[in-house]
Amino acid sequence: MKKLKIADGIYMLTMNVEDILFEGIWELANGVTLNSYIVRGEKTAIIDGVIGWDGIPETLYQNLEEIGVDPQNIDYLIVNHMEPDHSGWISNFRKIKDDFTVICTDKAAKMVASFYGGENIRIVKEGDTLDLGKGKVLSFHPVPNVHWPDTMYTYERDTKTLFSCDMFGSFGRMGDHCFDDEMTTEEVDFFESEGIRYYSNVMTTFTPSLRKAIEKAKTLEISTIAPGHGPVYRKNPQKIIDDYFRFSQYAEGAGKNEVTILWGSMYGMTAKAVDYVEGILQREGVKYNKLEMPIDSDSEMVATVFKSAGIIIAAPTYEYKLFPPVAAALDEVGRKKIAGKLAFRFGSYGWSGGAEKELNEIMERNKMNWSFIQSVEFEGAPKEEDLRKIEAGVLELIGKMKEKIVE
Ligand SMILES: Cc1cc2nc3c(=O)[nH]c(=O)nc-3n(C[C@H](O)[C@H](O)[C@H](O)COP(=O)(O)O)c2cc1C
Ligand SMILES: [Fe+2]
Ligand SMILES: [Fe+2]
């Protein structure tokens, strides 16, 4: 656990978590941070506590003491969001102190009560304030459905700090640099990419609500954005606001100037055509990503499809349907409401075909509204004529993709 001062009277405690499945699903190739904040006036508040995460009260004591906070002097626990990655320590904290007030929205209050017991909860609404003394005044701003119904921002007026919880968060472990102004170019790129992974894995289903949360952030005068996961933005908080807006566009079909080949093949027939397509993309100088299902992780798959302006689906027929690992991947993308992408599919079949029919069913069932270039299905190995048609499809995709690019 690292402890840092982020402004006068405001401290950050942050820890890297590795080797977990985030939300029990997402394999995090590069880990994630959990950030907690302490605001000290005459009274002390802790926002989104993670500091007793290992369940040991002594760890909690030690971490707080190292920044000069006596746990007995914590008056308020601010629960911006009830998800246990931020609030799981409440029951732990009760073991060492029981006279604190939990501050949260009405929706969080119901959950705090049902998950941890319901004493001393103060419900706040839009614009409510809490004066901690010594000039530190917190105000509360619900941002429902980011990504739970209970979520709110906490804003500190004196330092103009926005504690945004999951909003403006990112996956990715942090080394010595926790502030945007300290980051190297590589670290900036890393967190952009991990931000996309985070948005696409955790947030994208709720894109309309995130747009409202972006608008709400714009109504506040912000010097620093301090999220629950990932770096703190104090040099240029507008960057992460703009990035989040751009990510929200990816959820609606825009993307970077990249193609993703989402593919799977049993005996290498479809794979032959994938090799051929790679040659075309290289010849045309188009950046591309290859995701082989079921080998690549769902976290990587969702993030990569999400950020790409053009999608190539390459999968054969299996038991009269689409090759299951690719079908499952597309279904996951559909559940995430990643809509409006531009795509082209090809694949091999043995006797009946059927992959195409299921692809259409997945698109309709999830209301994905993707635009497809005419698919190419071929019997057995791809012949010269099939490859010509595939080349035409790829070139059409590259041409049409230009309208979708937002970087
Ligand atoms: C388990 C299995 C099920 C299959 N089911 C069908 C099918 O229902 N209809 C069909 O036309 N071909 C079916 N095939 C044939 C494949 O689509 C064909 O072998 C194709 O070339 C596989 O392409 P791949 O080598 O890229 O996996 C099936 C093949 C396997 C191994
Ligand atoms: Fe969350
Ligand atoms: Fe979170």
Ligand nearest to the CA of 347: 1
Rg for the chain (alpha carbons), in Å? 24
Question: Would you place residue 132 in the very low, low, confident or very high pLDDT band (cuts 50, 70, 90)?
Answer: very high
Percentage of the chain lying above the pLDDT 70 cut: 99
Ion ligand 2, residues whose Cβ is below 5 A away? 83, 166
Question: Would you place residue 53 in the very low, low, confident or very high pLDDT band (cuts 50, 70, 90)?
Answer: low
Instruction: Summarize the confidence of residues 190-203 as an average pLDDT.
Output: 98
Q: What is the pLDDT of residue 192?
A: 98
Look at ligand 1, atom 19, and give the residue with the nearest C-alpha. Answer: 350
Ligand nearest to the CA of 352: 1
Instruction: Summarize the confidence of residues 267-285 as an average pLDDT.
Output: 98
Q: Where in the chain is the domain with CATH 3.60.15.10?
A: 2-250
Contact 112, 83 (CB under 8 A): no
Ligand 1 lined by 317 (C-beta under 6 Å):
yes
Q: Where in the chain is the domain with CATH 3.40.50.360?
A: 256-397
Atom nearest to 353 CA in ligand 1: 11
Tokens of 28: 């995090």
Atom nearest to 321 CA in ligand 1: 8
> How many A from CA of 229 to the centre of ligand 2?
10
Ligand 1 lined by 270 (C-beta under 6 Å):
yes
Cis before 141? omega within 30: no
**Quick one: fold of 256-397?**
Rossmann fold (3.40.50)
> How many A from CA of 373 to the centre of ligand 2?
37
Ligand 1 lined by 346 (C-beta under 6 Å):
no
Q: Is 90 exceeded by the pLDDT of residue 84? A: no
The per-residue pLDDT for range 211-231, each reduced to its tens digit, is 999 999 999 999 999 999 999
Distance (Å, rounded) from C-alpha 1 to C-alpha 34? Answer: 9
Ligand nearest to the CA of 147: 2
Q: What is the pLDDT of residue 116?
A: 86
Q: Tell which CATH architecture fits domain 2-250.
A: 4-Layer Sandwich (3.60)
